[in-house]
């Protein structure tokens, strides 16, 4: 089990990254050194009674002695977070949860991984793409990212800079619901096209996705139809982040359970699951 650090840390930067989306950098060497792609942290403003609980947020980048978290302002807690300035303190605990699973066996290593993000679901993909690119056996990383409109692609420049570091080995494809940038349509349209054009199959590829549940369900369905394994990172609302409160449960297949399924805690058993293990509603 990974070590979980509970710290009060300084804010290095906190700035607008896209429409209604912010990026905060926190000084935490310990979390930066130990986080794995797909893991998350809980953030809380010290001394604040409302909201009392922390906010679960995926870790976007981990560089040297700091971590970056990208978050959408969707309620009172994240609205308060967006007002903080460098030098102020945040309470953080992490890294939490189980991230994306990468097989160390070269035989099972996906040489052409397909990453799919929807909206703020791009957040865990930077670290995942970087992990793949650092391995020479990875031939090509394709990242498909969809948003409602062009103004919501938060921190796209970071991903483009990462791709530039590895010429010819990372491709970024964008889609928007309104057609304001990239493909006019859904990420699953691009997923199907890339699987066909790049001739992805079980021997060279795996799909990794994060975003709204309906998107994940369709991404998983498309992957299964192509015979590809798929891992999905759920965006289930959480309260404690430690598996104590059972408010973030999701239905998982369980042949030993009376009804063939049981509840899994997204915060501790996830947030990343094998898509085939989930019981989609």
Cβ atoms 86, 35 nearer than 8 A:
no
pTM above 0.75, yes or no: yes
- pLDDT reported for residue 52: 65
| Predicted confidence (pLDDT) per residue in 217-244, tens digit | 999 999 999 999 999 999 888 888 888 8
Q: What CATH number is given for 113-232 in this structure?
A: 3.40.50.80
CATH architecture observed for domain 236-281: Ribbon (2.10)
SS3 13: strand
Mean pLDDT, rounded, for 73-97: 93
| 115 phi and psi angles, rounded to 5 deg | -105, 135
Which residues neighbour 259 within 8 Å (Cβ) at sequence distance 6 or greater?
none
Beta strand residue intervals within 169-213, DSSP E: 170-176, 183-184, 207-210
- pLDDT reported for residue 189: 95
Q: What is the mean pLDDT of the chain?
A: 94
| Predicted confidence (pLDDT) per residue in 150-207, tens digit | 999 999 999 999 999 999 999 999 999 999 999 999 999 999 999 999 999 999 999 9
CATH architecture observed for domain 5-96: Beta Barrel (2.40)
Q: Does the CA dihedral 30-33-39-44 come out positive or negative?
A: positive
Mean pLDDT, rounded, for 60-71: 96
Domain boundaries, the chain: 5-96, 113-232, 236-281
pLDDT tops 90 at residue 246: no
Buried b (16+ CB within 10 A) or exposed e, 18-42: bebbbbbbbbbebbbebbbbbbbbb
Q: Report which secondary-structure segment, H or E, holds 261.
A: strand 261-265
First vs last C-alpha separation in the chain: 31
Please state, in angstroms and rounded to a whole number, the distance separating the CA atoms of residues 115 and 40: 18
Query: Measuring CA to CA, how many Å separate 192 from each of 63, 84, 196, 206?
Result: 34, 42, 6, 13
| Predicted confidence (pLDDT) per residue in 117-139, tens digit | 999 999 999 999 999 999 999 99
Antiparallel, parallel or unpaired: β 89-96 and 5-18: antiparallel
Q: What percent of the chain has pLDDT over 70?
A: 99
- pLDDT reported for residue 68: 98
Mean pLDDT, rounded, for 55-84: 93
Can you read off the two tokens belonging to residue 227? 């015979």
């Amino acid at each position: 089990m990974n070590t979980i650090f509970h710290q009060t840390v300084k804010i290095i930067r906190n700035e607008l990254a896209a429409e209604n989306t912010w990026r905060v950098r926190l000084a935490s060497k310990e979390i930066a050194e130990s986080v794995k792609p797909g893991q998350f942290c809980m953030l809380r403003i010290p001394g604040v009674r409302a909201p009392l609980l922390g906010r679960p947020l995926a870790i976007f980048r981990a560089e040297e002695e700091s971590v970056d978290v990208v978050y959408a302002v969707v309620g009172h807690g994240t609205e308060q977070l967006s007002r903080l300035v460098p030098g102020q303190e945040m309470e953080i605990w992490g890294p939490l949860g189980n991230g994306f699973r990468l097989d160390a066996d070269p035989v099972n290593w996906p040489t052409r991984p397909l990453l799919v993000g929807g909206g703020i679901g791009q957040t865990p993909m930077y670290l995942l793409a970087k992990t793949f690119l650092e391995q020479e056996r990875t031939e090509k990383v394709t990242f498909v990212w969809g948003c409602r409109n062009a103004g919501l692609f938060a921190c796209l420049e970071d991903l483009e800079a990462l791709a530039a570091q590895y010429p010819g080995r990372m491709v970024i494809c964008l889609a928007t619901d309104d057609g304001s940038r990239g493909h006019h349509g859904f990420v699953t349209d691009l997923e199907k096209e890339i699987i066909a054009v790049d001739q992805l199959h079980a021997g060279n590829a795996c799909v990794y996705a994060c975003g709204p549940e309906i998107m994940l369900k369709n991404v998983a369905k498309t992957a299964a139809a192509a015979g590809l394994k798929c891992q999905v990172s759920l965006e289930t609302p959480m309260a404690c982040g430690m598996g104590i409160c059972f408010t973030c449960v999701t239905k998982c297949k369980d042949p030993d359970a009376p009804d063939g399924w049981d509840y899994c805690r997204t915060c501790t058993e996830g947030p990343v699951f094998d898509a085939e293990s989930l019981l989609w509603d």
